[in-house]
Amino acid sequence: MKITILAVGKLKEKYLRDGVAEYLKRLASFAKIECIEIAEEKMPDNFSLAEKEKTLAREGERLLARVPEGSDLIVLDVAGEALSSEELAARLDGWMVGGVSHLTFLIGGAFGLSPAVRKAAKLRLSFSRMTFTHQMVRMLLVEQIYRAFKILRGEKYHW
């Protein structure tokens, strides 16, 4: 299985960079994984709804252009489907058994996702109805992917 994490913005906080790096190291025994970062679109301080929509559309085009060909797209979206860790593991297992060899998890920027990005997704996944920073979500995502693989192997980590 190959997994791409496509994210808007760079991880700024050292503790988040360290946490993501730790889980990426752990995941290396389960899957080939890569992280791709794209720069966040700039928004004026006092932006209108029309400016926000245009900015999200530009950012969305850039994101979709970076989704690897042949990859199934999973978009992290607060309005998406909420899954337990076990349910995510079962989906991952189903994709692998079904012949999916490449998944791309997409994390949008601070202003959200364009409708085009949401529409392109095979799955819109929500971690919570709460709002998290897009940088923090990256660490939560790699931990949950790692947890899913551990669940599938029946290994200690998940009780």
Per-residue pLDDT tens over the stretch 4-60: 999 999 999 999 999 999 999 999 999 999 999 999 988 878 889 899 999 999 999
In the chain, where the domains are located: 2-153
E strands, the chain, where?
2-8, 32-38, 72-82, 102-107, 123-126
The CATH class for the domain spanning 2-153 reads alpha beta
Whether the predicted model's global pTM rises above the 0.85 cut: yes
Tokens of residue 57, six digits: 């559309």
Predicted local distance difference test score (pLDDT) of residue 159:
59
pLDDT one-digit tens code per residue, 105-156: 999 988 899 999 999 999 999 999 888 888 899 999 999 999 999 999 999 8
3-state secondary structure of 94: helix
